[in-house]
Chains A and B, each alone.
Chain A
Amino acid sequence: GENVEQHPSTLSVQEGDSAVIKCTYSDSASNYFPWYKQELGKRPQLIIDIRSNVGEKKDQRIAVTLNKTAKHFSLHITETQPEDSAVYFCAASQGSGYSTLTFGKGTMLLVSP
């Protein structure tokens, strides 16, 4: 089955800096890669996703890049703000209606003012 590795497990940055979280996956059949943000005590919220037919996707300060050859994808947050502090999860799936998501173990991002 699919295996998703996520690094780093914790990331501390100063407000205004950029943050990058990286994930690798094992199943070459995976073609859908979402990212979730989970604030303390809350549900995970989908923040951005990418499919294998594109290499990069942006949404304001957030971007995701995908390298299918190397089987890795990354989340980039620019101009970080204290409210970006949360746990971020990457995931991968084969993108069919009957597939399941395999999640990474999460990255705790701390943005200091």
Chain B
Amino acid sequence: SQTIHQWPATLVQPVGSPLSLECTVEGTSNPNLYWYRQAAGRGLQLLFYSVGIGQISSEVPQNLSASRPQDRQFILSSKKLLLSDSGFYLCACAADTAGQLSTDTQYFGPGTRLTVL
């Protein structure tokens, strides 16, 4: 089964600073990858998803961007953070247990807790 890594685990950044969060997946190939944000005490907001290298779909227009430079790497970035960017950022992966073509069952990584001050 796949393993999802995210780093850093926690991050405190000043307003206006850049951001780079990384997600990598092991044990599967050609997965669908997703970035979600969860504000404190709130639900899951889908930010971006990717079905392959260089293919990014944006769900919510904002000051964030995503890239997928490798099959099992998904990066979330910002040039200038806002206070409202604080939250718990979760990467998710959809792939079947044999690591074949993606299915719809999503598994989440451990998350990055971002605080913007």
Contact = CB atoms under 8 A, between A and B. Distances in A.
Given A95-B104, A101-B106, A43 B43 contact: no
Nearest to A105: B43
Interface residues of A, number: 22
Residue in B42, B102, B104, B105 with the greatest tally of chain A CB atoms within 10 Å: B104
Interface of B: 32, 34, 42-44, 46, 49, 51, 59, 90, 94, 101-111
Nearest to A4: B43
A104 B105 contact: no
A104 B42 CA distance: 10
Interface of B, secondary structure class, is loop
A93 interface: yes
B90 A43 contact: yes
Contacts of A28: none
A93 B104 contact: yes
A69 B38 CA distance: 32
Q: Which 9 interchain pairs have the tightest Cβ spacing?
A: A43-B108, A105-B43, A97-B102, A103-B44, A95-B104, A32-B104, A93-B104, A44-B108, A106-B43
Nearest to B43: A105
A99 to B, nearest CB: 6
B43 A98 contact: no
A105 B41 CA distance: 10
